[in-house]
């Protein structure tokens, strides 16, 4: 029962629609009517600028950290690594499928980063390096996000983490890849936006990873 309550509270924390609320407050507009329609940090930059985008990224990452560092230990006596990660996964699900927005949210990248930094900082460090290296080579935010996500369970395995933790790591990675399915389609069609190139050269839609 305590684990169930912790998972529910983590979902509720993760489901706070940061981008939607901030853009509505700053610009009196619905961020879902701009660009990709996503409520994550990337689309918030289009609607309200980079400072707002950075704020959304940090708050969304914070939702993942709170689930791991506050909610899990508050409700669970001596929570295991797997239990902490499960609460983090619940927060990511809340971000991706928030009840307040008809279960249509972001892609979970920032929240997953927060979960990884709080629950397994060594793994998070490697994943962030993979993101930076992938971005430097290909200049696709979507490719970098997916590459970093897939790194999570691979590094867990290399570090001989328990199977229960690896299971959650696989689910976190799979969620990010699945949420980027539209980006994958555009990559295959050659229409995905490469950062640093004119948007018209890569198609109408950008690489939305938030």
Q: Which two tokens stand for residue 108?
A: 């979970």
The torsion defined by the Cα of 11, 13, 19 and 25, in degrees rounded to 10, comes to 140
Reference 5, options 92, 69, 75, 95; nearest CA is 75
Q: Which residue has the tokens 């490719």?
A: 143
Q: In Å, how far are 3, 7, 98, 145, 188 from 14, measured between CA atoms? A: 16, 10, 8, 19, 31
Phi, psi for residue 115 in degrees, rounded to 5: -60, -45
Q: What is the pLDDT of residues 25-66, one digit of tens each?
A: 999 999 999 988 889 998 899 899 999 999 999 999 999 999
Distance between CA atoms of residues 205 and 162, nearest Å: 40
Q: What is the pLDDT of residues 83-100, one digit of tens each?
A: 999 999 999 999 999 999
Contacts of 120 (CB under 8 A, 6+ apart): 81, 85, 156, 161, 165
Q: Are the beta carbons of 109 and 92 closer than 8 angstroms? A: no
Q: What is the pLDDT of residues 121-157, one digit of tens each?
A: 999 999 999 999 999 999 999 999 999 999 999 999 9
pTM of the model: 0.91
């Amino acid at each position: 029962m305590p684990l169930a309550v912790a998972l529910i509270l983590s979902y509720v924390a993760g489901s706070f629609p940061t981008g939607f609320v901030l853009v509505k407050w700053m610009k009196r507009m619905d961020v879902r009517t701009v660009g990709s329609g996503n409520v994550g940090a990337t689309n918030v930059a289009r609607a309200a600028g980079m400072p707002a985008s950075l704020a959304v990224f940090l708050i969304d990452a914070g939702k993942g950290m709170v689930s791991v560092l506050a909610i899990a230990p508050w409700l669970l006596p001596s929570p295991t690594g797997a239990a902490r990660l499960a609460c983090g996964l619940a927060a990511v699900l809340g971000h991706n499928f928030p009840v307040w927005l008809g279960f249509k949210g972001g892609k979970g990248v920032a929240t997953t980063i927060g979960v990884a930094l709080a629950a397994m900082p060594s793994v998070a460090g490697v994943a962030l390096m993979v993101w930076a290296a992938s971005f430097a080579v290909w200049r696709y935010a979507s490719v970098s996000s997916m590459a970093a996500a897939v790194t999570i369970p691979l590094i867990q395995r290399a570090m001989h983490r328990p199977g229960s933790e690896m299971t959650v790591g696989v689910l976190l990675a799979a969620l990010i890849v699945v949420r980027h399915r539209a980006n994958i389609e555009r990559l295959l069609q050659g229409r995905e936006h490469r950062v640093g190139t004119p948007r018209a050269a890569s198609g109408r839609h950008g690489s939305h990873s938030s």
